Amino acid sequence: MYSGRAFGRLRRVINDAEAVARARDGDLDAYAALVARYTVRAHRAAFLLGAGEEADDVVQESFVKAFRHLARFRVGEPFGPWLLRIVANETRNLTRSRRRRAALTLRLATAQPGGAAADGPVAEVLAAERRARLVAAVGGLPARERQVLVCRYFLDLSEAETARVLARPLGSVKSSTSRALNRLRGLFVDEQDRVTNG
């Protein structure tokens, strides 16, 4: 049904692999295509991994570095995850250079203006409150645990991808995940049991 011929009309414009190949040869227009395409994703990752308000700077720096490292990019590799590794590294450099290791403030996007949530069913309001506290608790975790949870559950990366993006051994990713989940469990799961059982 969705056969390749339907795409013929548009075929003259470049895809990621072609853009990378051209950018590697110094074609800045081709690279601009990749920047435009991946800015939102890179920015989300940078913000959630701890760059906070400096995510814009981190992402710009990452794109500049990625361009200069394109020679190391393996043909056929997806560009997105490769870029995320650079973004994670830049974020780490930034947070390391900060004097204080401030916790990341995470909130929910749906702060409901006009009480839209208040009109909803009680269960929905309670779920939203719980979610808001959960997100805040993730932001308050130690950085190494927080980053793993962000990769695994907020960026939906696999354990292997998380290890790659964060440049950490797989075993370390697994143990940090367990430790962080146990910590959150102490805060949330027991509370839920009390509510449902009591």
For the segment 129-148, give every residue that binds other proteins (CB under 8 A): 130-131, 134-135, 138
For residue 104, which amino acid is it?
L
Residue 107 in the binding site for other proteins (CB under 8 A): yes
Applying the rule CB under 8 A, the residues between 57 and 76 that interact with other proteins are: 57-61, 63-64, 67
**E strand spans, 4-88:** none
Question: Closest by alpha carbon to 42, among 131, 133, 165, 194?
Answer: 165
CA atoms 49, 95, 170, 138: torsion sign: negative
Residue 122 in the binding site for other proteins (CB under 8 A): no
Q: CA distances (Å), 86 to each of 82, 155, 191, in order?
A: 7, 15, 39
- To the nearest whole angstrom, how small is the minimum distance from the Cβ of residue 15 to other proteins? 6
Applying the rule CB under 8 A, the residues between 23 and 52 that interact with other proteins are: 28-33, 35-45, 47-48
Whichever of 65 and 168 has its CB closer to other proteins, that residue is 65
Q: CB 44: neighbour CB atoms within 10 A?
A: 17
Using the rule CB under 8 A, give the single segment among 77-85, 140-148, 168-176 that binds other proteins.
77-85
Whichever of 73 and 188 has its CB closer to other proteins, that residue is 188
Question: Closest by alpha carbon to 33, among 53, 50, 46, 18?
Answer: 18
Length of the chain: 198
Question: Alpha-carbon distance 88 to 139, whole Å?
Answer: 16
Whichever of 98 and 101 has its CB closer to other proteins, that residue is 98
- To the nearest whole angstrom, how small is the minimum distance from the Cβ of residue 110 to other proteins? 6
Q: Which of 115, 194, 197, 198 binds other proteins (CB under 8 A)?
A: 197
Q: At what angle do helices 28-46 and 79-97 cross, to 10 degrees?
A: 60
Q: Is 78 left (phi over 0), alpha (psi -120 to 50) or beta?
A: beta
Applying the rule CB under 8 A, the residues between 152 and 191 that interact with other proteins are: 152-157, 161, 181, 184-185, 188-189
Q: Which of 49, 50, 88, 90 binds other proteins (CB under 8 A)?
A: 90
Residue 88 in the binding site for other proteins (CB under 8 A): no
